[in-house]
């Protein structure tokens, strides 16, 4: 069924736009009138234009990007409709009008056009790799091949929801320390550039050497007043440098090695990467994807080049006949417990369920580690702020006390 882009006036006279599917342009106009809208412009979305648009597509615009939560919700709803007996195209016809995001609704309508024209669901999804990553497309392909598409879609929704829930909990726990750091830095900057100079100006007429803490405070305050722009440029330069090295292979490799080598956060990065690796690999294997293909997919989603190289090396060893646990144990950043559990899963023939347990363990450990870090960071930041404030107060009070002693 063709898809049309439209602009129309609603019952309140406001201009609205969107997409709609119908047998023809006239049917699309009638469908809009039946829904209480007056069509102004209706144009068919051409399939050739879709292919031209998606060919070479590298990114979705920032303000129009499709959020993972939208994909997850669509996946679960589509799984429910397929499980209820709806054919795929009919299920998408039912689902597309319920999608709130116009950009995502447009993408799903184009996916449906590709399916009607003869493409498989996975082929149609692969045109939008920025919305549907290789993991998603490969699992859908496995579901189509095995006739269990609704089960695969439900599993994809579960994976996405668990990862989003974990990310949300970690972000929530880190939000307060980050806010406190930024707020504390702004307060100190305001004190040093506005309040301190107005107070220390009274010491300029003193014909006496000021105490060392006061001299240090005045020097720091003067530096920030004069060279604040230099600090701003330096911060901007660091951001640009960070973005630059992220684009180079050597830079990403160095940053990945640094990320897993840091004393506290390095363990957290490893645990999150192992949890993502185990959760994704277990789901792929459960849905009929071969081990080598699954490892090739998983290496791209762990988020760390060093761990990805370890997985790639393990895939080569698995291809030569070694077990997965043995392949991962060679100079590996993978924790010893995870390798032992994978080995037990291989020996017992229950690798998929064991990978799920590995994911649960390391997700819980990562969350506990973040909670522990934040519980220590909060008092540490309060203590640090107290030290800075105490130094400022002491530096101001020392000359005043000396003046009082001279007067007495």
On whether residue 124 sits in a domain, the answer given is no
Q: To the nearest whole percent, how much of the chain has pLDDT over 70?
A: 89
- Contact predicate 322/198, CB 8 Å: no
Statement to judge: residues 379 and 256 lie in one domain? yes
- Contact predicate 304/259, CB 8 Å: yes
Neighbours of 244 (CB within 10 A): 10
∠ CA(114), CA(119), CA(122), 5° rounding?
95
Long-range contact list for 327-333, CB < 8 A, 24+ apart? 333/260, 333/270, 333/306, 333/307
Q: What is the pLDDT of residue 382?
A: 86
| Most confident by average pLDDT, 64-68, 116-120, 294-298, 307-311 | 307-311
Q: Report the C-alpha gap between 283 and 142 in whole angstroms.
A: 11
Statement to judge: residues 36 and 170 lie in one domain? no
Statement to judge: residues 194 and 327 lie in one domain? yes
Mean pLDDT of the region 356-379: 85
∠ CA(366), CA(371), CA(376), 5° rounding?
125
On the question of pLDDT at 293 being above 80, the answer is yes
Statement to judge: residues 207 and 354 lie in one domain? yes
Q: How confident is the model at residue 63 (pLDDT cuts 50, 70, 90)?
A: very low
DSSP code at position 208:
S
> What is the residue-wise DSSP string for 319-381?
HTT--HHHHHTTT--S-HHHHHHHHHHHHHT-HHHHHHHHHHHHHHHHHHHHHHHHHHHHHHH
Where would I find the H helices in 66-131? 68-83, 88-95, 102-116, 121-125
Statement to judge: residues 352 and 225 lie in one domain? yes
Q: Report CA-CA distances (Å) from 286 to 65, 76, 126, 164, 296.
A: 30, 18, 21, 21, 16
Domain stop point among 29, 45, 61: 45
In this structure, the dihedral spanned by the alpha carbons of residues 373, 379, 382 and 384, taken in order and rounded to 10 degrees, is -70
- Contact predicate 133/303, CB 8 Å: no
Neighbours of 193 (CB within 10 A): 17
Q: How many domains does the chain have?
A: 2
Q: Which of 62, 71, 64, 5 is nearest to 39 (CA)?
A: 5
On the question of pLDDT at 17 being above 80, the answer is no
- Contact predicate 170/372, CB 8 Å: no
| Most confident by average pLDDT, 25-39, 158-172, 251-265 | 251-265
Q: How confident is the model at residue 361 (pLDDT cuts 50, 70, 90)?
A: very high
On whether residue 293 sits in a domain, the answer given is yes
What are the structure tokens assigned to 350, written together?
């229950």
Spatial neighbors of 257 by CB under 8 A, at least 6 apart, are 305, 306
Mean pLDDT of the region 234-253: 87
Q: Report the C-alpha gap between 144 and 159 in whole angstroms.
A: 19
What are the structure tokens assigned to 28, written together?
């699309």
On whether residue 149 sits in a domain, the answer given is no
Q: What is the pLDDT of residue 300?
A: 75
Spatial neighbors of 356 by CB under 8 A, at least 6 apart, are 278, 279, 282
DSSP code at position 24:
S
Q: Report the C-alpha gap between 45 and 113 in whole angstroms.
A: 9
Least confident of 2-16, 145-159, 246-260: 2-16
Q: What is the pLDDT of residue 237?
A: 92
Q: Report the C-alpha gap between 80 and 382 in whole angstroms.
A: 50
- Contact predicate 210/203, CB 8 Å: yes
3-state helix, strand and coil shares in percent for the chain, rounded to the nearest 5:
75, 5, 20
Statement to judge: residues 173 and 37 lie in one domain? no
On whether residue 95 sits in a domain, the answer given is no
On the question of pLDDT at 64 being above 60, the answer is no
Statement to judge: residues 245 and 384 lie in one domain? yes
On whether residue 175 sits in a domain, the answer given is yes
Domain hosting residue 41, numbered range: 1-45
Spatial neighbors of 5 by CB under 8 A, at least 6 apart, are 17, 18, 19, 42, 43, 45, 106
Q: What SS3 class is residue 83?
A: helix
> In terms of C-beta density within 10 A (0-12 exposed, 13-18 middle, 19 or more buried), how is residue 313 classed?
middle
Chain segment 331-352, per-residue pLDDT in tens: 678 888 889 999 999 988 888 8
Neighbours of 384 (CB within 10 A): 13
Chain segment 191-240, per-residue pLDDT in tens: 888 888 888 777 766 667 788 888 888 888 888 888 888 989 998 999 99
On whether residue 318 sits in a domain, the answer given is yes
Q: To the nearest whole percent, how much of the chain has pLDDT over 90?
A: 4
Dihedrals φ, ψ of 21, to 5°? Answer: -110, 140
CATH number at residue 292: 1.20.81.30
On whether residue 283 sits in a domain, the answer given is yes
On whether residue 70 sits in a domain, the answer given is no
pTM attached to this predicted model: 0.65
Chain segment 76-121, per-residue pLDDT in tens: 888 888 888 888 888 888 888 888 888 888 888 888 888 887 888 8
Q: Report the C-alpha gap between 227 and 231 in whole angstroms.
A: 7
């Amino acid at each position: 069924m063709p898809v049309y882009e439209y602009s129309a006036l609603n019952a309140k006279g406001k201009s609205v736009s969107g997409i709609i599917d119908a047998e023809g342009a006239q049917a699309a106009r009638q469908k809009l009138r039946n829904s209480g809208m007056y069509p102004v412009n209706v144009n068919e979305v051409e399939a050739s234009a879709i292919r031209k648009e998606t060919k070479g597509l590298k990114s979705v615009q920032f303000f129009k990007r499709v959020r993972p939560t939208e994909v997850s919700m669509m996946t679960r709803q589509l799984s429910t409709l397929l499980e209820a007996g709806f054919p795929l195209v009919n299920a998408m016809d039912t689902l597309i009008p319920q999608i709130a995001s116009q950009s995502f609704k447009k993408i799903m309508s184009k996916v449906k056009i590709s399916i009607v024209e003869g493409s498989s669901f996975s082929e149609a999804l692969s045109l939008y790799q920025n919305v549907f990553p290789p993991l998603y497309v490969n699992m859908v392909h496995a579901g189509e091949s095995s006739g269990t598409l609704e089960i695969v879609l439900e599993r994809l929704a579960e994976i996405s929801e668990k990862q989003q829930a974990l990310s949300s909990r970690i972000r929530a726990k880190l939000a307060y320390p980050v806010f406190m750091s930024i707020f504390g830095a702004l307060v100190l900057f305001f004190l040093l550039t506005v309040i301190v100079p107005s107070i220390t100006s009274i010491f300029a007429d003193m014909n006496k050497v000021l105490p060392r803490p006061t001299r240090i405070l005045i020097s720091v305050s003067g530096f920030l007043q004069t060279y604040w722009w230099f600090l701003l440029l330096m911060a901007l330069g660091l951001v640009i440098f960070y973005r630059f090295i992220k684009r180079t292979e050597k830079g990403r490799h160095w940053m990945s090695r640094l990320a897993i080598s840091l004393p506290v956060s390095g363990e957290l990065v490893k645990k999150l990467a192992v949890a993502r690796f185990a959760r994704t690999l277990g789901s792929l294997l459960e849905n009929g994807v071969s081990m080598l293909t699954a490892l090739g997919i998983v290496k791209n989603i762990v988020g760390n080049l060093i761990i990805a190289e370890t997985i790639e090396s393990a895939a080569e060893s698995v291809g030569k006949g070694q077990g997965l646990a043995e392949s991962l144990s060679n100079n590996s950043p993978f924790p010893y417990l995870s390798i032992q559990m994978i080995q037990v899963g291989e020996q017992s023939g229950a690798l998929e369920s064991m990978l799920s347990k590995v994911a649960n363990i390391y997700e819980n450990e990562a969350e506990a580690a973040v909670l522990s870090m934040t519980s220590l960071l909060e008092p540490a930041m309060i203590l640090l702020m107290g030290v800075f404030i105490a130094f400022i107060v002491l530096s101001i009070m020392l000359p005043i006390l000396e003046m009082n002693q001279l007067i007495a």
